[in-house]
Amino acid sequence: MAFRPVKEQLEIIKRGTVEIISEEELVKKLERSYKTGKPLVIKAGFDPTAPDIHLGHTVLLRKLKQFLDLGHEIKFLIGDFTGMIGDPTGKSEIRKQLNREQVIANAKTYQLQVSKVLKKTVEPVFNSAWFEKMSPYEFLSLTSHLTVAQLLAREDFKQRYSSGKDISVLEFIYPLLQGYDSVELKADVEMGGTDQKFNLLAGRQLQKDWNQEQQCVLMMPLLEGLDGVQKMSKSLNNYVGIDEPAETMFAKLMSISDTLMFRYYELLTDLPLADIETYKREIKEGARHPKKCKEALAGEITAYYYAEEAARQAAGVFNSRFSGGTDWNNPDNFEAKSLKKSEWKDGKLWVCKMLTLSGACASNSDARRLVQQKAVVLDGETISDAGLELSLPQPHYLLKVGKKKFIKITVDE
């Protein structure tokens, strides 16, 4: 098949990534693929230790979809065998083991949810296919490929060892099993979170020991949850599940901070990075309201997992519940008022002056009083600064003044 030029592929692949080991090797693999028409084998492994996927998981899954869209071969690995052990990464104590029935049930749910992210049904590969066929000798021989010193140098194991907490031998084996998955799949690239670095590098080492070309490692960031501090997690209740109702998803996304909003734009949408930078600049300059950007983000993510209509309805419900019953998504319901462009000196207009010119207030002093009383809402956000200067509306401003005045402000040349 015809692949996109390597430079274009690399630009897409590098978006949002934290580290590539190594970028030089990846370029060589992409160049060979481009010349031969043979796709790269991209591995992403998931232990189905829990049944539900949230937006934090989709950072890696969206990158997997990008590789898929670029024409490469996806190996969506479900660790049904390793899932019964449990990945010790980042754990401060021994994990509770799951039984086969739990893992298989979780895997089925996981597979359905993953298809919502990839927008395509991809047949999974189960690592029990090779591990259950291994003889005891073959299985034990894997342990010769990593040393105890290497394992204890790993940060989470080091902390547990130094604090006297137990580490089971089974946990020591886990990185070897994940690494051997790469040998079986002959992976060209393996993806994982930044907390997976040790396990990902184990794959490179085992491939070398098996005389295979070493895989490149691509590490994605851990997405902050709704609190903007801790990584997204169900246990911390700072998550957005991809199977949550559209209204819940939209409302949760509207709760994030303005700073976190741009992180979500980069990692959870396909909006060009140049457009994201434009949004940042326009908000800083006052030319764009952050609530509008956040609403667009929530709408785009909700529409990705449901549909445009579902996202629009979710926005309507949100604004009805949290914006004093005003449907900010239906500007035609507002009284239309047009101001002359000449009123905007150097593209700026004092908010109190706008209220007066639009007829919403009898005078500037009346407008100032209403602002100070927090009785003025602009595009769903209460105005509290009576000295605020507004840029030209893009394409309009929606005003709620007091309880009964609803005005759409546009500009004539």
pLDDT tens digits, one per residue of 228-286: 888 898 778 889 998 889 999 998 998 888 889 999 999 999 999 999 999 898 888 87
**Residue 306: predicted pLDDT:** 92
Q: Between the CA atoms of 140, 87, 168 and 205, what dihedral angle is there, to the nearest 10 degrees?
A: 40
Q: What is the mean pLDDT of residues 148-156?
A: 73
Name the most confidently modeled range: 45-49, 103-107, 198-202, 401-405: 198-202
**Residue 25: predicted pLDDT:** 96
**Residue 97: predicted pLDDT:** 57
Displacement of CA 294 from its chain's centroid (Å): 14
pLDDT band at 46 (very low <50, low <70, confident <90, very high): confident
pLDDT band at 91 (very low <50, low <70, confident <90, very high): very low
Residue 119: closest CA among 29, 51, 193, 58: 58
Phi-psi domain of 107 (left: phi exceeds 0; alpha: psi -120 through 50; beta: other): alpha
**Under 8 Å between Cβ of 10 and 26:** yes
pLDDT band at 327 (very low <50, low <70, confident <90, very high): low
Please name each of the domains of the chain with its CATH number.
Answer: 6-220 (3.40.50.620), 246-322 (1.10.240), 331-412 (3.10.290.10)
293 backbone dihedrals φ, ψ, rounded to 5°: -65, -40
**Under 8 Å between Cβ of 401 and 407:** yes
Name the H helices within 15-54: 23-36
**Under 8 Å between Cβ of 13 and 264:** no
Average pLDDT, the chain: 85
Report pTM: 0.72
**Residue 99: predicted pLDDT:** 66
Specify the range with the lowest mean pLDDT, choosing from 6-20, 134-148, 315-329, 330-344: 315-329
Phi-psi domain of 378 (left: phi exceeds 0; alpha: psi -120 through 50; beta: other): beta
195 backbone dihedrals φ, ψ, rounded to 5°: -75, -5
Displacement of CA 195 from its chain's centroid (Å): 16
Residues 6+ positions from 234 with CB-CB distance below 8 Å = 50, 52, 54, 241
